Structure 1
Amino acid sequence: MSQNTSYTSVKRRDRLIKERSIDAYRSERKLPDPTLCQICGAVFTGGRWQWCEALPIEAKETRCPACQRIHDRVPAGYLTLSGTFFNEHRKEIMRLIHNHVERQRTRHPLQRIIDTHIKESGDMEISFTEFHLPKGVGEAVKNAYQGELQIHFPEASGQVRASWSR
């Protein structure tokens, strides 16, 4: 038994929507390979920023996105730490945070702390150069000391806000 199947051409109405980038510090053009950050010494090579043992001789110079954010004082995200437990264990929690960020920074040169300051309320606010760091650092603190972690990704501002308290 033979079945005659006919196909009709249907115009598709769905389309791929181009993802909107909210990071103004991401370069829209590809940097020349190699490019050296004149501030921190990170090298853009192989399509990404990385640390190199030997600095390239014939490299173009610019500022990497992390150094540019630090210079402009425009963080990609914040982590706020609060609570009586935090106030009692501030030094050891901050040591954990600095160790976590330093481990990330050895693999990913753009992941750094911009600033740490204490608000009038006594809460500590840490600003970061990368969108992923507030979440990662907040999770590291929560895993080590429990507590409550909240993460907000507001679309309009493009800055991640995380808060941990205990």
Structure 2
Amino acid sequence: MDKYQHSQKNKLFKHAAHDPYCLPKVEGSAICPQCDAVYQAGNWTWNHPENTLVPNAQSVTCPACRRIADNAAAGTLTVSGSFWPQHRGEIVHLFEHIEKREKAEHALERIIHLTDTADELTVTTTGVHLANCLGHALEAAYKGQAHYHYDDNQCSVTIRWAREQ
């Protein structure tokens, strides 16, 4: 087998990325006892059928609640530069607004913590999607420079955004 064939074989048999917080498929329905998210047909949602409890539903903690309990972020956004302290309130309000919008559509997308120091603001999220939305919203609203770095298995993202005056 030549070098080209070997590289193609490696691509062909590459294992799928595995997120340790994604549950194996639950048989039937489930409800998270902490946040009341419902698992049906392979998805976590907020939609309870007819606002009642799902019959025969298992009690399973959703991946977002597990990440929050373990403080294991899937997304980390760090905001730095001389611009952000002067606009802290606006930036935090933007983050809260985006989280509310994304959480309404995607039950597993939530902010874990907002932590600020004198030099930077760090936001941790339960999902990669929300972290990306926050980073893109900062770029759209305040310009600045954002750098996105995904880990090898694409289960987490680190975003650094900075703007000087």
TM range (shorter): 0.7 to 0.9
Instruction: Quote the Cα distance in structure 1 between the aligned partners of 2:14 and 2:151.
Output: 19
Cα deviation 1:83-130 (Å, max 9, x = unaligned): 1211111101111111111101000000000111123x5201010101
Contact 2:37 2:46 in 1 (8 A): yes
3-state DSSP of counterpart to 1:152: strand
Q: 1:144: which partner in 2?
A: 141
Q: 2:107: which partner in 1?
A: 109
How has the CA–CA distance of structure 1 residues 19 and 105 changed in structure 2, closer, same or farther, with 3 Å as cutoff? Answer: farther
Which runs of structure 2 are paired with 1:87-102 in the superposition (5 Å)?
Answer: 87-102=85-100
- Bigger-Rg structure (1/2): 1
Cα deviation 1:15-52 (Å, max 9, x = unaligned): 5334432410011x310221000100000002100012
The total of aligned residue pairs comes to 153
For 1:165, which of 150, 159, 162 is the aligned residue? 162
For 1:131, which of 121, 128, 133 is the aligned residue? 128
For 1:25, which of 21, 24, 41 is the aligned residue? 21
Contact 2:125 2:131 in 1 (8 A): yes
3-state DSSP of counterpart to 1:89: helix
What TM-score, normalized by structure 2, do the two folds share?
A: 0.84
Structure 2: runs of 5 or more not aligned = none
What TM-score, normalized by structure 1, do the two folds share?
A: 0.84
3-state DSSP of counterpart to 1:87: helix
Which piece of structure 1 moves more, 107-116 or 52-61?
52-61
**1:35 matched to 2:7:** no
For 1:52, which of 22, 47, 56 is the aligned residue? 47
**1:154 matched to 2:151:** yes
Tell me the amino acid that sits aligned with residue 70 of structure 2: D
Instruction: Quote the Cα distance in structure 2 between the aligned partners of 1:147 and 1:159.
Output: 22
Deviation at 1:59, TM superposition (A): 1.0
Structure 1: runs of 5 or more not aligned = 1-11
Runs of 4+ in 1 over 6 A off after TM superposition: none
Deviation at 1:160, TM superposition (A): 1.1
